[in-house]
Amino acid sequence: MATRPPARPGQRDLTTGPIGPALLAFSLPTLGSNVLQSLNGSINAIWIGRFLGQDAIAATSNANMIMFLMFGAVFGFGMAATILVGQSWGRRDVDAARRAIGSAIGLVLGASLVVGVLGWVFAPEILAVLKTPGAAMPLALTYLRVIFLGLPASMLLVLMSMGLRGTGDAVTPLLATGLSVVLDSGLNPVFILGLGPAPRMGIAGSAFATLIANATALAFVVGWIAWRDLPIRLKGRELRYILPERALVRAIVGKGVPIGAQMIIISAAALTMVGIVNREGVATTAAYGITQQVWAYVQMPALAIGAAVSAMAAQNIGAGKWDRVERITRAGLIYNVAMTGSLVVLVTVFDRPVLALFHLQPQALAIAQRIGLIATWGFVLFGAMMVLFGVVRANGAVLGPLLILFVAAFPVRLGVAFALRPWLGVDALWWSFPASFAANLLMGSLFYRYGGWRKGALYVPARPEPEEEASAVVEPAGGLKPVH
């Protein structure tokens, strides 16, 4: 049997040792990254609102909606690559992990360059489709075009961070996120106002700060990977792996598109609910909007645990350690109840002071408290669903979770909202959230138990041409062949 490559700083072998501490140590940096990204968005919104006004806020909101859809696509490809990298690293097939990340880099880089150019050219038409208000249109156009210029760096940063997590390294992505956040939030006022030698760029300055921050963070990640000789580093002849292999692209796209589609479903469901809530008046709309801000933080532990569970499960599936996969699932469910449950209790008990931070009017504040009391506890169910979906997705099962998510988000959530409306009034809207989470968890549990997702493993296809020299250590049992 081949020798196992030594672990690097921040990198974890997730196929051995106690599961609970490893899951916690992996989840916390991911949670930290999520919190930093949310804080960065809030800080930038404060800068823009303070220096440029309400129209600029509306402009960035429209542009950010477009970018969310873009990142949904790269998230899908990144998650597919993470699965391939994780399973390959679990087998200690380092060459397969590098080929997987190389093809993903080539695919995302090429796509982001094309989309960036097309986005720059057709930005006015895109904003017109979104019905961007006339006063915000010039600002939104300027902001969006600069954001499209920075699209390749932003997309590659997301991809590389996800690839690192596939090898058990959640610390390097946290460091990169921290660097990006410090630069972005710090440079926003510099380029907006033209402080020091910087030019005064207005709203374009905010987008330019984001471009610089992401490019710098990407350079840090690439340099760190090379310096530490991490499993997904590419050098020498391995750089040709960036030219996407047809079989690998087929695997990444085949798994990545359904994962990306989940983001679209989530967005569509959120927009549909906003449209329904808007009919209830300004106070209800304001209350719901602020509740969404609180929920963004409540769901963060679940998202972090789900990502950690997926990476751990992928490595252990690659190593053939299915007994550990079951224990990882149990540990993930327990940690979700502890972490998400604790956060739910805190925001429920201290709902008034938390909501008061947003300066709501008394009527809206009362409505927001009511929404939280009815629906926030449902995020414990949401977290359990994320754990189960993370595990099954680690073996390439993506269509089942996609279908389950669609059914729970539309027939169930909308059905409950409209069916219970005659009896519960507007409260039916808030009860639809825990109802859809419960439906998700029920269907996800059945799929986890009976879905057949354990059959096979998602192997990186064999090289198109044999090599005289292997550039990495490969386990004899790690024979590479496609799994359908």
> pLDDT for 282-321, tens place per residue?
888 888 888 887 898 899 999 999 999 999 999 999 999 9
Share of the chain above pLDDT 90, in %: 51
- Convert 26-56 to b/e letters by CB count within 10 Å (16 or more is b): bbbbbbbbbebeeebbeebbebbeebbeebb
Cα gap 157→99, rounded to integer Å: 18
Task: Answer yes or no: is 171 within a domain.
Answer: yes
Statement to judge: residues 448 and 322 lie in one domain: yes
Q: Among 61-65, 238-242, 342-346, which stretch is predicted with the lowest mean pLDDT?
A: 61-65
Statement to judge: residues 182 and 326 lie in one domain: no
Statement to judge: residues 231 and 336 lie in one domain: no
Task: Answer yes or no: is 159 within a domain.
Answer: yes
* pLDDT computed for residue 222 by the predictor: 95
Task: Answer yes or no: is 340 within a domain.
Answer: yes
Cα gap 222→180, rounded to integer Å: 14
Q: Among 166-175, 234-243, 258-267, which stretch is predicted with the lowest mean pLDDT?
A: 258-267
Specify the 3-state DSSP secondary structure of 136: coil
Statement to judge: residues 404 and 450 lie in one domain: yes
* pLDDT computed for residue 113 by the predictor: 92
* pLDDT interval class at 70 (50, 70, 90): confident
Q: For the chain, what is the mean pLDDT?
A: 86
Residue 169 amino acid letter: D
**pTM of the predicted model, to two decimals?**
0.82
- The domain total for the chain is 2
* pLDDT computed for residue 483 by the predictor: 30
Statement to judge: residues 239 and 287 lie in one domain: no
For range 1-8, the mean pLDDT: 47
Statement to judge: residues 174 and 265 lie in one domain: no
The residue from 187, 215, 244 where one domain ends is 244
* pLDDT computed for residue 367 by the predictor: 92
Task: Answer yes or no: is 236 within a domain.
Answer: yes
Task: Answer yes or no: is 302 within a domain.
Answer: yes
Give per-residue pLDDT as tens, 177-213: 999 999 999 999 999 999 999 999 998 999 999 999 9
pLDDT of 129 strictly over 90: no
Statement to judge: residues 200 and 293 lie in one domain: no
- Convert 288-319 to b/e letters by CB count within 10 Å (16 or more is b): bebbeebbeebbbbbbbbbbbbbbbbbbbbbb
**Nearest Cα residue to 82 out of 253, 395, 402, 311:** 311
* pLDDT computed for residue 74 by the predictor: 74
Q: HSE (CB half, 13 Å, CA atoms) of 482?
A: 11
Residues in contact with 478: Cβ distance below 8 Å, sequence separation at least 6, in sequence order: 88, 91, 92, 93, 96
Statement to judge: residues 342 and 394 lie in one domain: yes
Task: Answer yes or no: is 449 within a domain.
Answer: yes
* pLDDT interval class at 12 (50, 70, 90): low
* pLDDT computed for residue 71 by the predictor: 75
Expressed as residue numbers, the domain containing 100 is: 32-244
Q: Do you know the residue count of the chain?
A: 484
* pLDDT computed for residue 54 by the predictor: 65
Placement of tokens 């208000």 in the chain = 133
Give per-residue pLDDT as tens, 355-367: 887 767 889 889 9
Statement to judge: residues 181 and 270 lie in one domain: no
Give per-residue pLDDT as tens, 134-165: 777 888 889 889 989 999 999 999 999 989 98
Residue 75, number of CB atoms within 10 A of its CB: 21
Task: Answer yes or no: is 23 within a domain.
Answer: no
Distances 111 to 53, 117, 147, 155, 428 between C-alpha atoms, Å: 34, 10, 15, 10, 42
Give per-residue pLDDT as tens, 427-484: 999 999 999 999 999 999 999 999 989 986 667 776 765 444 333 333 333 333 333 3
Give per-residue pLDDT as tens, 417-434: 999 999 999 999 999 999
Statement to judge: residues 240 and 282 lie in one domain: no
Statement to judge: residues 145 and 93 lie in one domain: yes
The residue from 244, 275, 296 where one domain ends is 244
The residue ranking higher by pLDDT, 439 or 262, is 439
* pLDDT computed for residue 280 by the predictor: 86
Give per-residue pLDDT as tens, 388-417: 999 999 998 999 999 999 999 999 999 999
Task: Answer yes or no: is 235 within a domain.
Answer: yes
Q: How far is C-alpha 324 from the chain's CA centre?
A: 25
The residue from 184, 217, 244 where one domain ends is 244
Specify which of 105-114, 163-172, 213-222, 261-270 reaches the highest per-range mean pLDDT. Answer: 213-222
Cα gap 187→41, rounded to integer Å: 13
Statement to judge: residues 307 and 410 lie in one domain: yes
* pLDDT computed for residue 52 by the predictor: 84
